[in-house]
């Protein structure tokens, strides 16, 4: 009982802290991109430029909290004839999936909130369920942009989920188990990121896909005025955005466990190592999200089937040969 | 108390604001969108403040009323360079000088959060835009179970597919004229199959644009080529920034917009191009679509025509330009990618020309025919609206490609400088 309670608190606290970290990292990435690539922002001179630089510089550490408060207090909007239950529920269920995913991540050799013998399979099941919920969120709003966003997401869903399956089978092979703690233990000598060099880069794309982030934001993009969340406002939007970032946190946990040896590492305690590795994955994802433009869904789908999927096969064959030797 | 504490936190967040842009206001609103106190939201549902900027023709008023009501109540409207609607005139917050925009928006937002101000009352009646037209006893259907037009919208019925034989329900809807993704004033009725555009009707044309001041002067008197070329470079880069924003490079696009006002003659934008190429912007959504035929290119003129291989450029007729070694840049393919690259090329060329003209103090030698960023302008003849070419160009494209194509074309008519003086 106590263990279950401790696990639950641990998962919820990690999700909340992780979402906060993402919000901060994303703001830092956004600001860094401007200055790093196009030279320093104009200081002084023209009035407009001056105000951007001199305006009460928003504190990146407090900004996420201010934003959350603003969403919390904003009025809730409804459309003409939404499927109200599904519309309100979809963000909550998506958040639940994120929490379920994070529960699979081992924090140390002894502390694994849910150490399923089929952990990899459960994560594999969460990905298509996420697709269902993203579709539900867009469809239930009963509005054209939201519907289009969800159409598009469903259309590309399968192409990245397949990549994820093969890459994860690849990490299960050397462990000879579908249990995530066993996958971590199998990396005692060499982390999977080195043993299967194609694995992590391919899996990062899955992370962008499952949280429709950056270049894979086909569901909630600007060209659809916000896509599935175009009609959402206030708390509903807050939960949706929170859930989306929570899914990234959960993904980073799984990626750290599958490729970076999870809690393994010298000197520092296991959980600290895990958090550092998760942060590393999140920084990578945020930077990719800000740096890469969005392809058209058709082009991405071609890329996924013609390039990424064969690469995932190669990764699997590589993992198989390596496991045999 | 708890509410107050939360409200005070929320006051520190950037103000969610949605722009409804009319005539001749886009550039300045774009510049001020960089204000860190404001957050320009993508959907009016997420805004608390509506900014109505620029002159509105009376025929845009119904759309303005609708967009006003699309902000969840309570909301506040700010008016800049435009007369408030009669219904809202008594409580209108008028922005006299755009520099006050940030401050006024913050104040309006704060007063909403702290309940010091009530929102505005809705302007449209809360009823369906069209009655339910059905013949059955429950209002269903036209003939039998199918057909009919619930609330003026066609029933979901499959129709022939454009692409792969999978029949989908057509989805019909209108966008614009206040959608920041499209040019101000442009509104269109789309019919989509899945996310493929099947049909498109332009329901209102984009507002005519005023050219940057140096171009207006160039029709009256010789002006410094450096000024003209700097204005041109800024114009093109602004459009590039918008296309980058649409294709998901939001932070980078902001960086471009922030850099534009501080560009100096002779600055190099080669790093921008290298950087865009490395990140894959030139293969992003729509890059190889939106190919203009030579007729369409000729009709559009300007960089869009040159990107499609037509060497139309009035600057070749100006001897001062020839002295500076000007030659028009052309590309062949006429796709969105070609236009993006064309903007970069021409902006770089303009910055170069500006540097050379700056050192010699060269002025234009002719006033009857000038090359504006939108095409050739002469007395009594300015580029006309070309939005109808979208009806040929977009069907068959996926939504993201269609939107990228629209963003890559400068379709609005050019308001003649003479108009401006008389009005």
ipTM of this predicted complex?
0.89
| pLDDT beneath 70: ranges in chain B | 1-3, 132-156, 417-423
Mean of per-residue pLDDT scores for chain A: 88
B89–chain A Cβ distance below 8 A for any pair: no
Residue numbers in B near A299 (CB within 8 A): 283, 285
Partner-chain residue, chosen from B3, B262, B284, that has the shortest CB–CB distance to A294: B284
pLDDT of A169: 93
For B245, name the nearest residue in chain A, comparing CA atoms only.
Answer: A222
pLDDT of B415: 84
Chain B stretch 173-232, residues whose beta carbon is closer than 8 A to a beta carbon of chain A: 173, 179, 181, 192, 194-195
Do residue A57 and residue B286 have CB atoms under 8 angstroms apart?
no
CA distance B389 to B343: 20
Burial of B268 (0-12, 13-18, 19+ CB in 10 A): exposed
Assess whether the previous peptide bond of B74 is cis (omega < 30° from 0). Answer: yes
A101 CA: distance to closest CA in chain B (Å): 28
Residue numbers in B near A76 (CB within 8 A): 72
pLDDT of B258: 86
pLDDT of B352: 92
Partner-chain residue, chosen from A63, A229, A295, that has the shortest CB–CB distance to B283: A295
pLDDT of B161: 75
Least Cα distance to B84 among B94, B76, B74 occurs for B94
Q: Which residues lie below 8 Å from residue B142, measured CB to CB, with a gap of 6+?
A: B133, B134, B135, B148, B149
Q: Percent of chain A beyond pLDDT 70?
A: 92
pLDDT of A50: 39
Outline where DSSP puts E strands in B26-164.
38-40, 49-53, 76-80, 93-95
Residue B46 has a CB neighbour count (10 Å cut-off) of 25
Partner-chain residue, chosen from B12, B13, B42, that has the shortest CB–CB distance to A226: B42
Higher pLDDT, B366 or A256: A256
pLDDT of B171: 86
pLDDT of A44: 36
Half-sphere exposure of B45 (CA within 13 A, CB side): 22
Do residue B400 and residue A223 have CB atoms under 8 angstroms apart?
yes
A235–chain B Cβ distance below 8 A for any pair: no
Q: pTM of the prediction?
A: 0.91
Chain A stretch 81-120, residues whose beta carbon is closer than 8 A to a beta carbon of chain B: none
CA distance B100 to B104: 6
Name the band, by pLDDT with cuts 50, 70 and 90, for residue A54.
very low
pLDDT in tens, A281-310: 999 999 999 999 999 898 999 999 999 999
For B278, name the nearest residue in chain A, comparing CA atoms only.
Answer: A292
Res. A131: pLDDT tops 60: yes
pLDDT in tens, A64-96: 999 999 999 999 888 888 888 999 999 999 999
Say what angle helices B250-259 and A270-291 make with each other, to 10 degrees.
60
Res. A21: pLDDT tops 70: yes
For CA atoms A98, A7, A23, B115, the dihedral sign is positive
């Amino acid at each position: 009982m106590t263990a279950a309670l401790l696990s639950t608190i641990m998962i919820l606290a990690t999700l909340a802290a992780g979402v906060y970290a993402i919000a901060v990292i994303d703001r830092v990435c956004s600001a860094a991109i401007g200055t790093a690539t196009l030279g320093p922002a104009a200081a002084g001179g023209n009035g407009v430029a001056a105000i951007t630089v001199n305006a009460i510089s928003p504190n990146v550490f407090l900004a996420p909290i201010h934003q959350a408060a603003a969403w919390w207090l904003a009025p809730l909007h409804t459309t003409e004839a939404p499927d109200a239950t599904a519309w309100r529920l979809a963000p909550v269920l998506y958040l639940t999936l994120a929490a379920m995913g994070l529960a699979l991540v081992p924090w140390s050799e002894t502390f694994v909130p849910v150490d399923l013998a089929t952990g990899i399979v459960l994560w594999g099941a969460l990905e298509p369920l996420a697709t269902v919920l993203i579709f539900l969120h867009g469809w239930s709003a009963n509005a054209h942009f939201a519907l289009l966003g969800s159409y598009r997401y469903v259309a590309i869903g399968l192409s990245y989920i397949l990549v994820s399956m093969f890459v994860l089978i690849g990490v299960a092979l050397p462990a000879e188990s579908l249990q995530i703690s066993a996958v971590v233990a199998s990396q005692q000598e060499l982390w999977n990121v080195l043993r299967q060099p194609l694995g992590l880069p391919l899996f990062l794309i899955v992370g962008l896909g499952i949280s429709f982030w950056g270049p894979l934001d086909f569901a909630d993009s600007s060209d659809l005025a916000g896509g599935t969340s175009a009609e959402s406002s206030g708390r509903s939007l807050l939960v949706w955005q929170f859930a989306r970032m929570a899914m990234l946190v959960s993904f980073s946990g799984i990626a750290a466990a599958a490729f970076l040896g999870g809690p393994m590492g010298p000197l520092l305690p296991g959980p600290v190592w895990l958090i550092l590795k998760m942060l590393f994955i999140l920084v990578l994802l945020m930077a990719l999200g800000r740096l890469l433009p969005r392809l058209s869904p058709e082009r991405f789908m071609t890329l996924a089937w013609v390039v990424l999927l064969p690469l995932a096969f190669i990764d699997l064959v590589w993992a198989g040969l390596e496991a045999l030797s | 108390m708890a509410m107050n504490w939360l409200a005070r936190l929320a006051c520190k967040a950037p103000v969610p604001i949605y722009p409804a842009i009319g005539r001749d206001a886009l550039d300045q609103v774009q510049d001020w969108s960089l204000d860190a106190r404001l957050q320009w939201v993508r959907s009016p549902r997420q805004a608390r403040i509506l900014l109505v900027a620029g002159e509105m023709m009376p025929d845009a008023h119904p759309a303005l009323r609708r967009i006003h009501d699309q902000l969840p109540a309570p909301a506040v409207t700010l008016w800049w360079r435009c007369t408030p609607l009669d219904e809202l005139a008594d409580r209108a917050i008028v922005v006299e000088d755009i520099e006050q925009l940030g401050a006024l928006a913050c104040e309006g937002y704060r007063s909403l959060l702290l309940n010091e101000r009530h929102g505005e009352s809705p302007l449209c009646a809360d009823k369906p835009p069209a009655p339910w037209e059905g013949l059955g006893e429950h209002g269903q259907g036209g003939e039998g179970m199918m057909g009919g037009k619930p609330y003026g919208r066609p029933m979901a019925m499959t129709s022939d597919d454009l692409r792969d034989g999978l029949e989908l329900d057509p989805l019909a809807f209108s966008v614009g004229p206040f959608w920041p993704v499209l040019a101000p004033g442009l509104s269109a009725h789309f019919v989509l199959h899945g996310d493929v555009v099947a049909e498109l009707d332009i329901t209102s044309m984009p507002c005519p644009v005023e050219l940057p001041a140096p171009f207006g002067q160039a029709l009256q008197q010789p002006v410094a080529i450096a000024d003209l070329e700097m204005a041109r470079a800024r114009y093109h880069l602004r459009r590039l920034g918008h296309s980058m924003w649409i294709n998901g490079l939001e932070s980078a696009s902001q960086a471009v917009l922030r850099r534009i006002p501080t560009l100096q003659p002779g600055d190099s934008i080669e790093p921008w191009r290298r950087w865009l190429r490395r990140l894959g912007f030139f293969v992003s959504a729509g890059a190889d679509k939106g190919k203009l035929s030579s007729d369409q290119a000729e009709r559009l003129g300007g960089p869009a025509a040159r990107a499609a291989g037509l060497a139309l450029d009035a600057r070749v007729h100006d001897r001062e330009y020839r002295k500076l070694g000007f030659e028009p840049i052309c590309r062949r393919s006429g796709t969105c990618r070609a236009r993006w690259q064309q903007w970069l090329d021409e902006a770089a060329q303009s910055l170069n020309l500006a540097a050379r003209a700056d050192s010699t103090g060269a002025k234009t030698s002719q006033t009857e025919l000038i090359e504006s960023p939108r095409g050739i302008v002469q007395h009594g003849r300015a580029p006309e609206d070309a939005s109808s070419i979208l009806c040929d160009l977009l069907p068959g494209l996926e939504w993201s490609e269609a939107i990228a194509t629209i963003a890559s074309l400068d379709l609005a008519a050019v308001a003649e400088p003479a108009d401006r003086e008389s009005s």
